[in-house]
Every structure is written in C-alpha cells, then in structure tokens.
Amino acid sequence: MNPYNPKTTAFSAAREVFLERQGNRSAHHLESSKTHSRQFLIKLSGINSIEEASQWVGFDLCVTENALQPLQPGEYYHYQAVGLEVFDLNGERIGIITRIWSTPGGELYVVQGSEKEHLIPAVKEIVEKVDLAAGKMIINPPAGLLDL
C-alpha cells in the first residue's frame, strides 16, 4: 500500500479499516502492518492470498476520523481539501477540488473549473490560504499555470 503519509500511525494493528472505491465501501479488520521502504505491508482479516487481495487493487484504504493523528495548526487531511472551492487572489473562482493526485514530484490539486480541469501544485508558494470552515482555498497561481 502506498500511503499519503508514510509516517502515519493510523494503520496500527487491531483496527477497523475500510476499502473504498467509487462509492463502494467494505469494512475489514487490520490484523497487522509494517513499513517497507515508503510503503506499508498489511494483512486484513479474511484476505489470505494474493489472489484474494488482487480484487482490492485500486481501492483506497481508509480509517475513521477519530483514528487520525492530530494535526498542527494550518495542516489538513486530503479528504478535507476535496470539495473546497478554489479562488485566486482577486476573488475569481477557479473551480472545485475534485481529488488530489500524488505524483513523485509532489501533490497536485485537481480542480474542475467551468471550462476545464486545472492541476494546481500543493505548495505554500501557490496556496495562500485554506479555510476549511468556509469551504475555500485561495491560490496565487504563477503566470500561465491556469492556461495549461
């Protein structure tokens, strides 16, 4: 499993987890996990072979919110960013974050605009403010970013 946060403690053993994809959700008991490089090797109850595990390839492994580690001020989880409305510094609406794309070069917010999809790097040089309570993110895109 490739975690969004390789340092998480959310995947400790004896915990209920969920496998989720496109609205399908299945609860499982996490029997064990260990880190290997930047990944986790996990064992879920009732899944005892590679063949049984292969049906779950492409699913997201999720935990309940109370299993998440507390965050520092100004930090937020991926699931909290999805659905935020994105605006530039002039207040012009760019679109809504539909997902976060994790790439080797960093994370990108996938923002669906009225006419096209934008890929916004999730870096402090571009993201000016995240207001979870208001449901919005303010960005300062470099020239040409929204034209790509």
CATH of the domain at 115: 2.30.30.240
Encode pLDDT of 30-50 as tens digits.
Answer: 998 888 887 888 899 999 999
Q: pTM for this one?
A: 0.77
- Residue 1 forms part of a structural domain: no
If one counts the domains in the chain, the total is 2
pLDDT for the residue 116: 96
57 and 90 co-located in one domain = no
Higher local confidence (pLDDT), 117 or 60: 117
DSSP string, the chain: ---SSTT--TT-SSEEEEEEETTEEEEEEEEEEEEETTEEEEEETT--SHHHHHTTTTPEEE--GGGSPP--TT---HHHHTT-EEEETT--EEEEEEEEEEETTEEEEEEE-SSSEEEEE--TTTEEEEETTTTEEEE-PPTTGGG-
63 and 94 co-located in one domain = no
- Residue 109: strand pairing partners: 100, 120
Structural domain for 49, as ranges = 15-67
pLDDT for the residue 121: 97
61 and 92 co-located in one domain = no
Contacts of 2 (CB under 8 A, 6+ apart): 38, 39, 102
- The CATH number of whichever domain residue 51 belongs to comes to 2.40.30.60
- Residue 9 forms part of a structural domain: no
- Residue 7 forms part of a structural domain: no
105: pLDDT strictly greater than 80:
yes
- Residue 91 forms part of a structural domain: yes
92 and 63 co-located in one domain = no
pLDDT for the residue 14: 54
- Residue 140 forms part of a structural domain: yes
d(CA 147, CA 50): 44
